[in-house]
Structure 1
Amino acid sequence: MTCTKSTLIEKISETFDQNPSQSKEVLETLIEIMKSTLASGEDIMVSGFGKFQVIEKSPRKGRNPATGDAMILEKRRVVTFKCAGKLKNRINEKIQ
């Protein structure tokens, strides 16, 4: 099952015993801070969780899948996530 924004709001409400509208406001504020930080090109590091990083992709050759025509894809910025060791260990402990 996928954890959605509404699921997160529900869990925050239960954990901190607050109404869902307060929890939604907190979550929306956090997401907006993350968006603006990443849009400015800064990284976000959450200790024990991981690092969100903006990476510059160079222009590259591509192909239009509908027509098969070759084309050049422009440079762009993408967000990557690198998992922290603690999270990686927690995810993998159920496999062993």
Structure 2
Amino acid sequence: MAISKAELAELVAGSMKISKNDARCCVNAVLDAICGSLSNGNDVRVQGFGTLKVVQRSPRLGRNPSTKEAVPISACNTVQFKVSQALKEQLPQVMPL
């Protein structure tokens, strides 16, 4: 289950004992700062959580699953997330199939 930005703001409001409106402003400010940093080409490192960085994906050849026709996919920038070791250790272990 995913958590929405509104739900995240509600959790922040509850844990910080501030109004939901103030919490929503805080969440928006943090997300805006992250987006601004990434768009300037900087990495975002949050200790104990992980690292976000912009990487360039090279052009490649994809396939239309319906027609099996080859389709060129142009190069683009995307955001890559690498989880920190501290967060990895907190996540439950998944049994392989």
Q: Tell me the TM-score normalized by structure 2.
A: 0.85
Offset of 1:21 from its aligned partner?
0.6
Structure 2 counterpart SS, 1:82: strand
Give the structure 2 partner of residue 28 of structure 1: 28
Number of paired residues? Answer: 95
Task: Specify every segment of 5 or more residues in structure 2 that has no aligned partner in the other structure, as ranges.
Answer: none
**1:27-52 Cα deviation digits (max 9, x unpaired):** 01111111121122211100011111
Structure 2 residue identity aligned to 1:68: K
Q: What SS does the aligned partner of 1:92 have?
A: coil
Give unmatched runs, 5+ long, in structure 1. none
- 1:46 is matched with which residue? 46
Shift of 1:54: 1.1
Within-5 A mapping of 1:1-96: 1-92=1-92
Task: Name the % identity.
Answer: 28
Given the two structures, how large is their TM-score scaled by the length of structure 1? 0.86
Q: Which moved more, 1:7-16 or 1:65-74?
A: 65-74
- Give the residue type in structure 2 aligned to 1:12: V
Q: Which 4+ stretches in 1 moved above 3 angstroms?
A: 65-68
1:75 maps to amino acid: A
Distance of 2:40 and 2:73 partners within structure 1: 22
Letter in 2 for 1:74: S
